[in-house]
Structure 1
């Protein structure tokens, strides 16, 4: 049964994160358009979205890092993509497929650890994996195959670095900042942070 190992509050938090980041993603889509227009005179337009592409994977990293349950990365990303379509994303319904593929990319790394390792290297690897999965999808769906070989390699590398930094590193930082506030006490990340405090107090 789907989510049988989940608590209701975990499903609620994942859904909230998906909705919140759906609007953040839309904002970055507009930012990407502006950045692209700025880079056109320099011949760097193909890199405009690649520089910031990692931000579109970040909810999968944050949700997985906080909740630490099977499917958190995939479903949070899918929710974010679906909400974007419902509120009128210019990308259209195909965005849902893109979100699912990105979520699978991140989820694959957590699955490889049997959903037991959420250290920074694993989070970074998840962001990088989401980048590779998304690029493979874009190869067929977004015309990336038409780029010159050198540009294909360059844009892929930039997207992977963006996934590592903007999804993996930034995602962990955001999760840690939330944990410091105490609002995550009832979730896996909050409980992990609580144990050292309890040992010090005892």
Structure 2
């Protein structure tokens, strides 16, 4: 993070705090879905829990943005009272690593839609593997676990990737991101 500007750290941290609140707000939604569909209910919307990593990385476009934003969001969630406690920080780190992996594969040079979606998928895969060992998924049938995995991947691609892109692009259109990488790219497209 030695080549980060102070304002990039501030915007990443602000996004992490905002999305920590969003993450907490979605816990009851997940519980309702689990009530209707069983454990797969959370997987249907799991992408919401790593959206900040995609948004921060897309806006800032520097190594570590996905990982750090997700980790900070998890820390804030714990401070706000998430019942999981400090283990949630490890979950956030795992999700952030999964999201960061897609950007790393492009050497942090490609932020097209497919990379954002791949980042959401990466976070989904990393979090699912982590959750498999901690969440007792092995007690479920192979078919059900496979369906959970597929649902989480789709959620990661669509909610984290596409929705994260839409939110970021919407912010860029307002001009508030004009001094960040995404804002500069948006300004170039408008003047081209």
TM-score by length of 2: 0.98
162, 167, 170: which one aligns with 2:160 = 167
Match of 2:18 in 1: 20
Q: Distance in 2 between matches of 1:196 and 1:98?
A: 37
1:1-202 mapped onto 2 (5 Å cutoff): 3-37=1-35, 39=36, 44-199=37-192
Q: Give 4+ residue runs of structure 1 displaced > 3 Å after superposition.
A: none
What RMSD in Å do the two structures reach over aligned CA positions?
0.8
How many residue pairs match? The answer is 192
TM-score by length of 1: 0.93
CA distance in 2, matches of 1:133, 1:13: 25
Q: 1:50 Cα shift?
A: 0.7
Q: Structure 1: state its 5+ residue gaps.
A: none
Secondary structure at 1:74 match in 2 = helix
> Which stretches in structure 2 are left out of the alignment for 5+ residues?
none
Q: Secondary structure at the match of 1:179?
A: helix
